[in-house]
Amino acid sequence: MKLIPSALLLLFAATFFCVWLLERRRRHLLFFSLAFAAVGSATIVQFALWPPDIGYNTIVSAMLYAAGPLLLVEGALARSSRSMPAALHAAWFAAIVGLLCYFYFVDNNLQVRVYALNIGMGSIILSGAWKLRDLMRGNVVDRAMVWLFLGLGLTFFARVLLDGNSVPTDDVDAFFESKFWIWAQFSMSLIGAALGLGLLVVACADIVLALKSERDTDPLTGLLNRRGLQGREARLLSASRGKPLGVVACDIDRFKDINDRFGHAAGDLVLATFAGIMRKRLRAGDVAARTGGEEFIMVLNCSLDQAYSLTEKLRREIAIAHFSGLPQDFAVTCSFGIAKAHPGEGLWDVIGRADKILYAAKRAGRNRTFAEGLQLPSAA
């Protein structure tokens, strides 16, 4: 029975390690595995009394216990492409191990060692929750991660406040029979299982969301593809209810000639560069997608006049931009058609009207922007 918490923690360590082997890009899974392994090993060191000398046992278990939450926080930060500075890792580690060594070798007090260890571990995890606080503005998976860390960190403080007085000051044998130790083992099993399952759910959700993103994203430009835009239709129309919504259809002029003269690799560079310029022009709430070879759609949360102004700036910027793979003096131009969404109209119906306006712009000579009621006869 004593080894149940250890076995549970090591089981989760092995599980996260196996998942990481399948998803090597997700480095945070390896950190989670090492965190569970460190704490699980620390409990075994204490139970097995290895090394048998209490002083050395204190040092080894302190190092493992301190490493656990540090690895856990590093994993959570790595999931968001961040990390904790090495100096801060070292400071936390040295503080916990140093305190435990001091209160054994200099001023032997088991109760203070237990307080220091639990408060130290809880503080590390709560500091991780603080660093992750911006995830509360993210999706439900991100918010769940923050709540997991917040709840876990608080349990270490609750453990000390509720049962800390039952810890003896110098009797190690009595400590393993104390109310605090019994509660600690029960809570470690319960909370360890909850944390492990919670992080596994987060990991699985991350993988599913990544697969969905890959399915809905054009790999060349990083913009949405046709399927991705279709999946956003209901959300876009709902968000624009009662507000103006402009849809812009775009086509790169004579793109087939670019491919024929300079090769498909150069053509791909043109598409990627064009998408990058377009992305920089988008504002919060705007959406862009590549729906065909050289065909793009922008959905803009603004009036027709504002959509026209933004699109014209984009057209002029494209016309003077240099595209890798093309001669320095070669100009890439684009044509645009803009339509305004009407109440009750589906997104693809608006796109269809914008597309017709786009082809009117191309027939008029290309390198121009036409909009409903604002068609210009020549390029600016």
Q: Which residues are catalytic?
A: 294
Provide the 3-class DSSP secondary structure of residue 372.
coil
Q: Where are the beta strands (DSSP E) in the chain?
A: 246-252, 287-290, 295-300, 334-340, 369-371
In angstroms, rounded to a whole number, what is the distance separating the alpha carbons of residues 369 and 380? 9
User: Nearest Cα to 110, choosing from 100, 124, 118, 119?
Assistant: 100
In angstroms, rounded to a whole number, what is the distance separating the alpha carbons of residues 306 and 49? 73
User: In the 8-state DSSP scheme, what is residue 134?
Assistant: G
- In this structure, what token pair is assigned to residue 193? 């299982």
User: Which residues have CB under 8 Å from 307's CB, separation 6+?
Assistant: 246, 248, 300, 338, 340, 371
Taking phi over 0 as left and psi of -120 to 50 as alpha, with beta for the rest, 374 belongs to: alpha
Element (H, E) at 341: none
- In this structure, what token pair is assigned to residue 139? 């999706």
Taking phi over 0 as left and psi of -120 to 50 as alpha, with beta for the rest, 365 belongs to: left
Q: What is the DSSP string of 251-288?
A: EETTHHHHHHHH-HHHHHHHHHHHHHHHHHH--TT-EE
